[in-house]
Amino acid sequence: MKFSRLFQPRNPLFWLMLAINALSLVLAFIAQTRALNSLGTVIVYGFALSNAVLGIGLAWRLAADPGKE
């Protein structure tokens, strides 16, 4: 597995990974800066965690892929 394979601008998985990681960043920012009730906190943290796991999975697929550019 090579980490240089992560940068594949012609592969749609690359752009999906970037979008999901950006969304995780926004959700983490909201969780840190906003005063949320318990339900809101659980929802925001749940989405942030699931987005992070999905982004890691996409990065893993891109790095393990033999390069579909």
Q: What is the per-residue pLDDT across 6-17, written as a single tens digit (0 to 9) for each? A: 788 888 989 999
pLDDT at position 7: 83
Average pLDDT, the chain: 85
Write the CA distances from 28 to 21, 34, 38, 52, 55, integer angstroms: 11, 10, 15, 10, 14
Token couple for 1: 């597995």
Q: What is the per-residue pLDDT across 19-52, written as a single tens digit (0 to 9) for each? A: 998 998 898 898 889 899 999 999 998 998 899 8
Residue 69 has pLDDT above 70, yes or no: no
